[in-house]
Structure 1
């Protein structure tokens, strides 16, 4: 597991941070709105919520932008995508090899065409374009 993915799952380990993710997944939220919503569910200070937001930012799960004096938070899909990819590899470890194996099969098929042409007595060009013989 990469350090990035490890940070993501460490961040997801806390129920307050998971709740914050639910809030920002619905829509962009101001820091004040997030603090108020979290304080309704848990006895936590504003600096405590800010620390949770920092952990989520550092893990790549939320992004923040400034709008005047306000800070607006939004779910960052790249962090979620990294976590999903890691989980998918657990569920289907062979899947990561599917595309390279498809490419290998294509290369093998390409190699067979010239051999077939040589065995049939036709040139490689004729084997590649069967209509060329009749032109």
Structure 2
């Protein structure tokens, strides 16, 4: 599954944001996601499973708790895609800015 397909879901994006701040227990993640999105614990577990299977996160057992960590390798794929396409938009937006300034000058 392409990295952007995985991150296309707002719940999974939020989980990645939470994990980017540090390792978290599944219970803590579930609590935050349930409060913000109003979804059930099994639904949160499914989103965590998708992140694990897609290589964005991994989990380990710590006693009776599951601790989730972000795997930065897949985030590199996202960063590469953004950088590849950013040049296109940066050039277009720069050209738009130049044109807008030119039009303002002509109106005066």
Instruction: With the length of structure 2 as denominator, give the TM-score of the two structures.
Output: 0.73
Structure 2, unaligned runs of 5 or more:
89-108
1:90 and 2:85 are equivalent in the alignment: yes
Larger RCO (CA within 8 A; separation ≥ 6): 2
Structure 1, unaligned runs of 5 or more:
94-135
Matching residue of 1:55: 50
SS of the residue 2:39 aligns to: coil
Bigger radius of gyration: 1
TM-superposed CA distance for 1:43, in Å, is 1.5
RMSD: 1.6
Runs of 4+ in 1 over 2 A off after TM superposition: 86-93
SS of the residue 1:74 aligns to: strand
1:29 and 2:16 are equivalent in the alignment: no
Map 1:1-80 onto structure 2 (within 5 A). Answer: 3=1, 6=2, 8-80=3-75
TM-superposed CA distance for 1:66, in Å, is 1.2
1:7-39 per-residue CA deviation (whole Å, 9 max, x = no partner) reads x11110111111111111111000000000101
TM-superposed CA distance for 1:92, in Å, is 5.3
Distance 2:59 2:87 in 1: 34
Distance 2:65 2:78 in 1: 29
